[in-house]
Amino acid sequence: MSDKTETTDQPLPDPKKRRQTILSGMQPTGALHIGNLEGALKNWVALQDQYWMYCCIVDLHALTADWKNPKVLKDRIFQVAVDFVAAGLDPEKCAIFIQSEVPEHTELHLLFSMLITVPTLDRLPTYMEKKEHLNSYGFLGYPVLQAADICLYNADKVPVGKDQEKHIWLAADIAGRFNNTYRKVFNLPEALLTKIPLILGSDNRKMSKSYNNHIPIDATEKQTEKILKSYYTDPEKIRQGDPGHPEKCPVYLLHLVYSEDPAGDIAPDCKSGKLGCVDCKMKLAGRMNETLRPIRDRRSELEKHPDEVWDILAVGRDRARQRAANVMNKVRSAMKIDYRGKKK
């Protein structure tokens, strides 16, 4: 997630014109946290009425880190699917599916891997940052699989923050190489830069499960309060009477998301010293719990009916495979590897 708020200058599609396609993906790390909700899911929910949406749980990507213990993925996939639907993704409006259940992802990944060099992948920041711990062929090829994910549905747009834009550029570059080498099959996908609020964890770093500084969507209201009580605050505001600097405080940044008028009813009292940090955190807990309550209630109900969740994933898989098969037929034809196809 970006550490700055990004805005889109791209207009929404004209409903009289062809509806464009979006591909979005998220790794199955188990139940999601509010950073995932505010940074991605809410935006996907808003976009599902204006685009053809394919929402993929990318378990093959997760295997780059979890290859030793893949049995954990089934429950994590289920939890992510529950969060998707609880947050408002409508299976009637978008295809929610598991990446590995659409084998065309791996086929296109292989074909795309012929179109890019190892040195190019080796220079990508995502690989450079983690290669000491994940120095595998699978992790090296992660961006190529990501490009295949996008292009398999001939996506026009991919909603991301500014920090992910380079991955979309790579997908467009590989798609362009394919079109130039064989014939035009793929759209050149573009990043749909989205508004991403700054969501920090309890230690003032980016909210992440790997840092254990996150607030799970499925946390109880008491657990949410407990986590917020542990939050880092303005180091210059030690006592209640001390003047605060809300712009430096991750708790205030969450107020910007969950409070109706933080600039009017939080910031002034923080700056004057009237509002203490504990009281500020408890105000936030109340507002956050109120906002999350409907999602948590839906989530709890979905967990009671696991077969319905797996059925949603099966329907999404079938819809995704229909689109993917159509694109891959064009790919094989363009490459002249549809060996049993019509004679030219």
Question: Is residue 85 one of the residues assigned to a domain?
Answer: yes
Please write the tens of the pLDDT for every residue from 16-31: 556 899 999 999 998 8
Question: Is residue 214 one of the residues assigned to a domain?
Answer: no
- What integer pLDDT is reported at residue 11 of this predicted model? 44
Q: Among all residues, which ones are annotated catalytic? A: 130, 206, 209
Q: Is the pLDDT of residue 72 over 80?
A: yes
Cβ atoms of 189 and 175 closer than 8 Å = yes
Same domain, 293 and 164: no
Q: Is the pLDDT of residue 13 over 70?
A: no
Cβ atoms of 65 and 136 closer than 8 Å = no
Number of domains making up the chain: 2
- What integer pLDDT is reported at residue 305 of this predicted model? 97
Range of the structural domain that residue 278 is part of = 219-302
Question: Is residue 4 one of the residues assigned to a domain?
Answer: no
Same domain, 166 and 235: no
- What integer pLDDT is reported at residue 76 of this predicted model? 97
- What integer pLDDT is reported at residue 189 of this predicted model? 97
Residues of the chain by 3-state class (helix, strand, coil), percent to 5? 55, 10, 35
- What integer pLDDT is reported at residue 8 of this predicted model? 38
- 3-state helix/strand/coil string of 257-289: HHCCCHHHHCHHHHHHCCCCHHHHHHHHHHHHH
- What integer pLDDT is reported at residue 318 of this predicted model? 97
Question: Is residue 156 one of the residues assigned to a domain?
Answer: yes
Mean pLDDT value of segment 289-302: 97
Q: Is the pLDDT of residue 151 over 70?
A: yes
CA pair distance 269, 216, nearest whole angstrom: 29
Question: Is residue 157 one of the residues assigned to a domain?
Answer: yes
Question: Is residue 16 one of the residues assigned to a domain?
Answer: no
